[in-house]
């Protein structure tokens, strides 16, 4: 089966880019300073490195920004869900030939998926229909 990329096709975010997106998803539109501080809670990064990444992200059309103030505010162009769905879709296609149920089985067989999680999933499915 052909993988027809849908019309709005943003480039795949890289690892460093994902880190930044996560901060924006969690805390909403932010300045570079804020994002950089958050990143530095996990690992050391220079301010200008984060700045550069966010500028690149903007060039790529993954972020947009409000430049009306000196402290630019960065905002993801696509909603968190949408981006994650895209990544998930790519993941399922690459590793499981698009079969969600196969991925599921792996998930369920994984010890790290707790009983609680499994119950959660069951309830979710029952409440679907």
Partner DNA sequence: TGTATCGTACGAAAAACATCGTACCTTTAG
Partner DNA sequence: CTAAAGGTACGATGTTTTTCGTACGATACA
By CB under 7 A, what part of segment 15-44 binds DNA?
Answer: 15-17, 31-33, 44
Maximum C-alpha span of the chain = 51
> Which one, 75 or 104, has the nearer CB to a copy of itself?
104
Q: Pick the binder of DNA from 48, 94, 99, 110 (CB under 7 A).
A: 48
Smallest distance from a copy of itself to CB 118, Å: 8
Give per-residue burial for 54-91: e unless 16+ CB within 10 Å, then b: beebbeeebbebeeeeeebbbebebeeeebeebeeeee
If the CB atoms of residues 70 and 125 are measured against a copy of itself, the closer one turns out to be: 125
CA 88: distance to chain centroid? 9
- In the list 25, 29, 72, 78, the residue contacting DNA (rule: CB under 7 A) is 72
Question: Which residue, 12, 58, 9, 60, is CA-closest to 35?
Answer: 58
Phi, psi values for residue 86, rounded to 5°: -60, -45
Residues near a copy of itself, by CB under 8 A: 18, 81, 84-85, 87-89, 91-92, 94-96, 98-101, 103-110, 112-113, 117-118, 120-122, 124-125, 128
């Amino acid at each position: 089966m052909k993988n027809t990329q849908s019309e709005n096709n943003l480039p795949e975010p890289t690892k460093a880019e994902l880190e930044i997106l996560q901060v924006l998803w969690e805390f909403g539109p932010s300045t570079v300073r804020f994002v950089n501080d958050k990143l530095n809670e996990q690992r050391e990064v220079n301010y200008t490195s984060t700045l550069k990444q966010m500028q690149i992200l903007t060039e790529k059309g993954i972020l947009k920004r409000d430049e009306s103030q000196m402290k630019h505010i960065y905002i993801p162009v696509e909603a968190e869900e949408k981006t994650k769905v895209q990544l998930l879709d790519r993941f399922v296609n690459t590793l499981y030939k698009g079969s969600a149920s196969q991925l599921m089985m792996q998930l369920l067989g994984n010890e790290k998926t707790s009983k609680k999680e499994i119950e959660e999933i069951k309830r979710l499915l029952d409440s679907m229909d």
